[in-house]
């Protein structure tokens, strides 16, 4: 695991002008917005939630896709869940095909569901859960899932049962700094800690399984709030369940709802991160210029900023090294199913299997918000999109009727849409990229679990025994 980058790669991280080869786009899939998971296809208990995060487990050759708090946006009960899916991969080209849900696992705490409903009262987290990041601990196979409400980091067994909750650092908790009272739902009354709906959005695990890294979506209230440009990466010890360091990541800016939405470990100190604005095709987004990029970063030499106010006058710290040349421009390749426009929410990213030529598949995915919106009173609406015209419509839930046009700024108008030909629910999107091992720069896959090693050794022993037995038989025949 302790692989150090070659000097040229290190320079690439330190000096923003250095050349960095980009992965090659292979192909993409548009996944129907009406698809269901293994609990059915009803909107609030079955419609497939694409992809708050993606994870490929190389030890089991398994793909996982995380759904968030549900179509109600925290206002309607939803039992949170994760999907194991299968995906066809051409091992020569990296092309993907044939997405299928193979297993749906709901998260629970004892007999109680981990529910997407917002905490009530707002200062008690309870079993409220808005999952946004997902990895598998290579040392025990358990699920590590990050949440926006707490923000929290939880460990579940492979049946989705909560095992433990890591300790969130006190400075991250959303609270009133004077009284210490938290509000986990929104910013009302809070003066410090993470901002509402801007919790642990990205999650990565070190290849040796010793540490998990959780990344806030954007700056905390007391790090500049909506105008802050420094995000925090929190390093957790997987044995103790406590944070051991925090690092500052500088975003390109803070306008247009900019934030980070995925974190992927390349090795024990270099990572990929998705950084994006909130423009593009979404349920209530503005259809202006989208800006979605994958950057690489390096924690080596960064200051532990646990006790530092990142926007304070005179604050001294070293942020993580970031190559400011995008590793992937997620907007550069588009699909006809979205009218060749970029989706709003690129939120999933994972390193997939090694291909036949030694390169790797990178898989990126979008969150389509279940193609549902809701008004202030909690009434839900299906959101339909016409890729041929770029038009959107808000319709009665479960039907393509009583539809009203959505303007380019994302607001619903009073204009009735009478012809819904060509409209469909907003799809989830997967993009496949091919990247060479050299351009990944010292990639180290998660180490196999002890049980995996044991099975491997047992298998090798069996192979050796069979080989020796065959040799003895051969020798006897010759004799």
Give the tens place of pLDDT for each residue, 322-355.
999 999 999 999 999 999 999 999 999 999 999 9
In this prediction, residue 22 has a pLDDT band, given cuts at 50, 70 and 90, of confident
Mean pLDDT across 13-34: 75
Query: Is the pLDDT assigned to residue 476 strictly greater than 70?
Result: no
Mean pLDDT across 267-287: 97
Mean pLDDT across 439-458: 73
Tell me the pLDDT of the chain averaged across its residues: 91
Mean pLDDT across 282-292: 96
| Fold category of 7-372+426-448 in CATH | Tachylectin-2; Chain A (2.115.10)
Separation between Cα atoms, residue 335 and residue 155, nearest integer Å: 36
pLDDT, position 147: 98
pLDDT, position 453: 52
pLDDT, position 420: 97
Mean pLDDT across 238-252: 98
How far is CA 161 from each of CA 107, 108, 111, 128, rounded to the nearest angstrom?
A: 6, 5, 9, 15
Query: Is the pLDDT assigned to residue 471 strictly greater than 50?
Result: no
pLDDT, position 447: 86
Mean pLDDT across 406-424: 97
Query: Is the pLDDT assigned to residue 474 strictly greater than 50?
Result: no
pLDDT, position 450: 62
Query: Is the pLDDT assigned to residue 456 strictly greater than 50?
Result: no
Query: Is the pLDDT assigned to residue 193 strictly greater than 60?
Result: yes
Cβ-proximal residues to 457 (8 Å cutoff; 6+ apart), any chain: none
Query: Is the pLDDT assigned to residue 13 strictly greater than 70?
Result: no
In this prediction, residue 376 has a pLDDT band, given cuts at 50, 70 and 90, of confident
| Between 366 and 10, the higher pLDDT residue | 366
pLDDT, position 20: 57
Mean pLDDT across 213-227: 98
pLDDT, position 454: 56
| Between 447 and 339, the higher pLDDT residue | 339
Least confident range from 8-22, 33-47, 106-120, 455-469: namely 8-22
Query: Is the pLDDT assigned to residue 50 strictly greater than 50?
Result: yes
Mean pLDDT across 370-393: 95
Query: Which tens digit of pLDDT belongs to each residue from 84-138?
Result: 999 999 999 999 999 999 999 999 999 999 999 999 999 999 999 999 999 999 9
Query: Is the pLDDT assigned to residue 448 strictly greater than 80?
Result: no
pLDDT, position 449: 62
In this prediction, residue 466 has a pLDDT band, given cuts at 50, 70 and 90, of very low
């Amino acid at each position: 695991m302790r692989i150090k980058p070659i000097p040229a790669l290190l320079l690439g991280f330190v000096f923003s002008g250095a050349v960095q080869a980009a992965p090659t786009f292979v192909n993409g899939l548009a996944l129907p917005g009406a698809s269901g998971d293994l609990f059915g296809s009803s909107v609030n208990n079955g419609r497939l939630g694409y992809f708050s995060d993606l994870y490929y487990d190389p030890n089991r050759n398994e793909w996982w896709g995380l759904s968030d708090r549900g179509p109600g946006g925290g206002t309607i009960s939803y039992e949170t869940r994760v999907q194991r899916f299968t995906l066809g991969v051409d091992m020569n080209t990296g092309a993907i095909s044939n997405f299928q849900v193979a297993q749906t696992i709901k998260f629970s705490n004892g007999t109680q569901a981990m529910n997407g409903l917002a905490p009530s009262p707002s200062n008690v987290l309870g079993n409220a859960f808005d999952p946004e990041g997902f990895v598998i601990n290579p040392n025990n196979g358990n699920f590590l899932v990050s949440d926006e409400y707490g923000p929290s980091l939880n460990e579940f067994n492979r049946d989705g049962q909560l095992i433990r909750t890591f300790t969130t650092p006190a400075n991250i908790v959303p609270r009133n700094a004077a009284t210490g009272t938290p509000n986990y739902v929104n910013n009302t009354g809070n003066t410090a800690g993470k901002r509402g709906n801007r919790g642990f959005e990205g999650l990565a695990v070190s290849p040796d399984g010793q540490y998990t890294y959780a990344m806030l979506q954007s700056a905390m209230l007391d790090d500049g709030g909506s105008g802050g440009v420094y995000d925090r990466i929190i390093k957790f010890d997987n044995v103790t369940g406590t944070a051991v360091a925090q690092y500052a990541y500088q975003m390109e800016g803070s306008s247009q709802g900019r934030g980070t939405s995925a974190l992927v470990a390349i090795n024990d100190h270099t990572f990929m991160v998705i950084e994006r604005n909130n423009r593009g095709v979404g349920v209530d987004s503005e259809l202006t210029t989208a800006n979605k990029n994958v950057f690489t970063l390096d924690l080596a030499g960064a200051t532990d900023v646990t006790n530092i106010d990142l926007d304070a006058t005179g604050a001294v710290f070293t942020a993580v090294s970031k190559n400011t040349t995008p590793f992937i421009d997620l907007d550069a390749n588009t699909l006809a199913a979205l009218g060749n426009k970029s989706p709003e929410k690129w939120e999933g990213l994972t390193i997939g299997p090694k291909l036949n030529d030694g390169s790797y598949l990178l898989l990126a995915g979008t969150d389509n918000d279940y193609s549902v919106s809701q008004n202030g009173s909690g009434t839900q609406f299906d959101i339909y999109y016409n890729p041929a015209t770029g038009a959107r419509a808000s319709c009665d839930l479960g039907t393509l009727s009583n539809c009203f046009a959505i303007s380019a700024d994302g607001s619903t108008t009073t204009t009735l849409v009478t012809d819904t030909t060509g409209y469909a629910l907003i799809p989830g999107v997967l993009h496949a990229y091919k990247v060479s091992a050299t351009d990944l720069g010292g990639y180290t896959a998660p180490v196999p679990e002890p049980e995996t090693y044991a099975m491997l050794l047992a298998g090798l022993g069996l192979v050796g025994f069979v080989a020796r037995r065959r040799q003895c038989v051969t020798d006897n025949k010759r004799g």
